[in-house]
Amino acid sequence: MSDLTGRVALVTGASRGIGRDIAYALSSAGASVAVGYHSDRTGAEAVAETIRQEGGRAVAVGGDVSDPQIAVDLVRETEAQLGPLGIVVNNAGINPSRPLDQITAADWDETIRVNLTSAFHVTQAAVPGLRERKWGRIITISSVAAQLGGVIGPHYAASKAGLIGLAHYYAAALAKEGITSNAIAPALIETEMLKSNSAIQPTLIPVGRFGQTHEVSSVVVLLAGNGYITGQTISVNGGWYMS
């Protein structure tokens, strides 16, 4: 496992599911972690407390990061409490599943705002500090839905495809400044969010099972510790999409 001792990470959407395991994995690799949340303060505080009990450094930082000022505030709060930010994990998201003929303009707008716009605002808030320090890792959690369309809806697939484009742009723009940017595209990871959609079954996956959160978080740690992988979309999907 990579040694991230001395690094500071901000993980959005880290009060549960994949984000929670990413926070734990980064802490285990030595990073100090800001556990981002929108509404689940109790869950985020529990994640931060678990990290502290295991000897790590962590704080819970809250707010709706689809608001650009709140994104700036979270980056500032992270740095005020933990030190200069180096690792940004854009994980915050929703998956409002609807039948195709029931998806509304409001569903579209909310999904794009929460899944895609929030990642833009957080990254934009963090980039000036990363550039100043000539070191950074931007890691964005997309989905197999960006590659195959998925089973949730066009609003979700479009938001996740946008995240890949966002990650690739930052990779190209910042490659000469010590900053990498990559996306991870998981499929059917066993979380609370997955269980809410009855259309999602392990039979969709060639390996015949749901993925586990640690199988995503281990890739985050890999990317956080590697300065030569950039502009890539790493598929963690049990063979559903083969690139």
Q: What single-letter DSSP state applies at residue 93? A: -
Q: How many CA atoms lie within 13 A of 102 on its CB side?
A: 5
Determine the 3-state secondary structure of 64 from DSSP.
coil
For the annotated catalytic residues, the residue numbers are 156
Cα separation, 137 vs 92, in Å, equals: 17
Cα separation, 90 vs 168, in Å, equals: 14
Spell out the residues 6+ positions from residue 198 whose beta carbon is closer than 8 angstroms to its own: none
* Bridge partners for 8 per DSSP: 32
8 Å CB contact between 229 and 133:
no
Cα separation, 216 vs 44, in Å, equals: 19
Cα separation, 74 vs 236, in Å, equals: 28
